[in-house]
Amino acid sequence: MTESERPHRRRSRSRRRRRARLRRALLGALVVGSLLLAAGGWVGFRGWQARAHLLNAAGLARELSAQVVGGDTDRALRTLSALQEQSGAARAATSDPSWKVGRRTPFAGDDLDAVRQIAVAIDDLARRAFPSLLRTDLTSLVPAEGRLDLARLTSVSAELTRVNEAVQGTRRDLDAVRADRLVSQVRQALTDLRGEIDRLASLTAAADQGARLLPPLLGASGPRRYLLVSQNLAELRATGGMFGAYAMIEAENGRVRMGQQGSSASLGRFTPALKLPAETRTVWTDLPGIYPADVNLTPHFPTAASLYREMFRRKTGTTVDGVLAVDPVVLSYLLKATGPVLVPGGVPLASEKVVQTLLNETYQRLDTAQQDAYFASSAAAVFDAFFKKNVNPRVLLSAFDRAITERRILFWSARPEEQRTFGDSRMAGTLPEEDTVPTVGVFLNDGSGAKLGYYLRPTANLSVGECRSDGRRELRLRVTLRSTAPKSGLSKSVLGLGLAGDPYTVRTLVSIFSPAGGAVLEARLDGAETALGSGTERRRQVATANVDIGPGAERALEVTVLTAKTGVGQAELWLTPTASPWTTQVHSAPSCDQ
């Protein structure tokens, strides 16, 4: 071999080795690719199975819910068995080794993990929560012949606690699943399930809390007295409506009866004003400490309730153990369980018309003295029906759950150890000083001195905006108020003082509360800058705009709000309950750390 041939042969061997390595690499890639395709196909097949089982489970869960609410226990047990079969199959389909490997892959991994979490959540509820819920005798939560059986109530308390712990645990697990990286179908399924579990969690929490708290509240260890106050939504206040009629509720050993009744006007005015927290006085002046009808200018219900209790004590010499506030919309929910109630000398109260009857028609057809008598008779009639009629406990619990969720039932105990058990729950009406999710408050107070709040149709839209360099986020809020009031024909009782000038114009003080530790930056009314009153309450900046709405008119208030330091992309609204429900939308955004 010549010297010139040797380099050529070395280059040939090198090319052959490179080709051999390339063939081995391609063969290896083909084998690995084939395995991945096979695994992907298997995961896809299992995903198809899981989807079918989850769809079946979702339909069965809806059937089960309707049967539980309707009290059809036999059918509910059969449905539960089918639900467990489908949820177990979905869980199995998402638990094999291929699925576990798929959950660790980029792109599809988050979706596979979320589907797995959904399957586990439904199966846990089907096996840990629903069976106990069906075994629980919910009739123990409903009065019979004027009293609650406290011994039976205590016996179901432990079971309800276990149910609630299972539901709350599932809720926490699902809340930990990040939705922002999921494909739309999986994200929507997760959102829908979270909504259903949120509603279930509210119901089980209320039942659990009720079973634990009702015995002492209803006099298991001695007599109790409470003030039941009706919030008049025709004349708005931050927690709902002006405290109008009141009634004394007396409880001992589970037996409850209604005693003394009256109106806030009969309590008079208090000068000098009752002592107020300094920040409350700065925002709302001395009014909550002077007039019983103004104690709930503040949205913090414990402040309003404690002021009202002290006013009642000074006027009557009677000290009560707490204050319970409801509104006519709550009555409309309860009347679905009790059926129509006859009121002596008045119009029968029915679920579909009670709000219109109490907040509008009564003011149109009766004078002031007759109104007070009718309101007292109505309260007594509904009270008697609630405690003496046979009602479906599940329908009743559903009514209470909806009313508590909408913050239409509020309770404050004068006993600190009992009040602490309510914490920051919706029923306590406590304005928290810390936020888990940034919460913006929109609270309405009537400035007309009239009963025109019945005609308001409110809307609120909240959008999560930019992430700022200081770690805060901007939120954009738009509140619209539309008046459906006529231009003429209303009675003097409805028109009241007419403080807006035109007696048919609704003057509403709209107070925007920033998230805890946040701020209100700017506001525009119908596109123009508007002056705002300002203050701070419970670590939230408060900005108040004076908004006049003529008959048939609509006004729009746009506000930019700042959060405390947060990375989350969610936000929540806290709204004054009104006669007509708010129309709301909250637009979330990706978290700031993405």
pLDDT single digits (tens) 118-133: 888 888 888 888 888 7
396-443: pLDDT as tens digits = 777 887 898 899 999 999 999 999 888 888 899 999 999 989 999 999
Nearest to 459 by CA among 587, 555, 582, 586: 582
Q: HSE (CB half, 13 Å, CA atoms) of 373?
A: 9
Residue predicted with more confidence, 522 or 16:
522
Adjacent-strand bridge partners of 583: 459
| Residue 1 three-state SS | coil
Helix 368-388 with 328-338: angle, nearest 10 deg = 40
Nearest to 374 by CA among 357, 389, 387: 357
Cα distances (Å, whole numbers) of residue 183 to 403, 463, 508, 570, 591: 35, 22, 43, 19, 17
Helical (H) or strand (E) element with 334: helix 328-338
Helical (H) or strand (E) element with 85: helix 73-93
Adjacent-strand bridge partners of 147: 144, 255
Is the distance from CB of 413 to CB of 209 less than 8 angstroms? Answer: no
Q: Is the peptide bond before 143 cis (omega within 30 degrees of 0)?
A: no
How much is the pLDDT for 44? 47
CATH class name, domain 435-587: mainly beta
Q: Are strands 456-467 and 583-587 parallel, antiparallel or unpaired?
A: parallel
Mean pLDDT highest for which of 152-156, 188-192, 216-220? 216-220
For the chain, report the end-to-end CA distance as a whole number of angstroms: 66
Cα distances (Å, whole numbers) of residue 526 to 529, 557, 576: 8, 6, 21
DSSP code string of 142-164: S-BTTB--HHHHHHHHHHHHHHH
Helical (H) or strand (E) element with 506: strand 506-513
pLDDT over threshold 90, residue 307 = yes
Residue predicted with more confidence, 13 or 130:
130
Measured in degrees and rounded to the nearest 5, phi and psi for residue 420 equal: -65, -30
pLDDT over threshold 60, residue 479 = yes
How much is the pLDDT for 462? 98
Could you identify the residue written with the tokens 């107020």?
Answer: 276
Residues contacting 338, CB < 8 A, separation 6+: 382, 385, 386, 389, 391
Nearest to 582 by CA among 493, 488, 482: 482
Share of the chain above pLDDT 70, in %: 86
pLDDT band, residue 526 (cuts 50/70/90): very high
| Residue 470 three-state SS | coil
Distance in angstroms (rounded) separating the CA atoms of residues 182 and 109? 9
Extents of the domains making up the chain: 38-217, 435-587
Cα distances (Å, whole numbers) of residue 221 to 145, 257, 542: 21, 17, 42
Could you identify the residue written with the tokens 């005609």?
Answer: 455
Nearest to 239 by CA among 513, 534, 477, 500: 513
| Lowest mean pLDDT, pick from 16-20, 205-209, 476-480 | 16-20
pLDDT over threshold 70, residue 27 = no
Adjacent-strand bridge partners of 136: none
Residue predicted with more confidence, 8 or 39:
8
Helical (H) or strand (E) element with 55: helix 5-70
Angle at 488 between CA 483 and CA 494, to 5 degrees: 70
Could you identify the residue written with the tokens 């300094």?
Answer: 278
| Residue 172 three-state SS | helix
Measured in degrees and rounded to the nearest 5, phi and psi for residue 218 equal: -100, 25
Q: What is the CA radius of gyration of the chain?
A: 30
Q: Which value, to the nearest 10 degrees, does the dihedral of the CA atoms of residues 301, 481, 495, 509 take? A: 50
Distance in angstroms (rounded) separating the CA atoms of residues 575 and 460? 9
- Return the amino acid letter for 223: P
How much is the pLDDT for 552? 97
Overall average pLDDT of the 54-61 stretch: 75
Measured in degrees and rounded to the nearest 5, phi and psi for residue 447 equal: -115, 10
pLDDT band, residue 109 (cuts 50/70/90): low
Q: Is the peptide bond before 272 cis (omega within 30 degrees of 0)?
A: yes
Could you identify the residue written with the tokens 């309450």?
Answer: 537
Q: Which value, to the nearest 10 degrees, does the dihedral of the CA atoms of residues 252, 255, 261, 264 take? A: 70
Is the distance from CB of 200 to CB of 68 less than 8 angstroms? Answer: no
Could you identify the residue written with the tokens 């609509």?
Answer: 554
Residue predicted with more confidence, 26 or 259:
259
Overall average pLDDT of the 33-60 stretch: 54
Other residues' Cβ atoms within 10 Å of the Cβ of residue 550: 15
What token pair was written down for 587? 């637009």
pLDDT band, residue 40 (cuts 50/70/90): very low
How much is the pLDDT for 412? 97
How much is the pLDDT for 68? 65
CB environment 293-332: b (16+ within 10 A), e (fewer): bbbbbbbbbbbbbbbbbbbbeeeeeeebbbbbbbbbbbbb
How much is the pLDDT for 38? 36
Could you identify the residue written with the tokens 């109630």?
Answer: 341
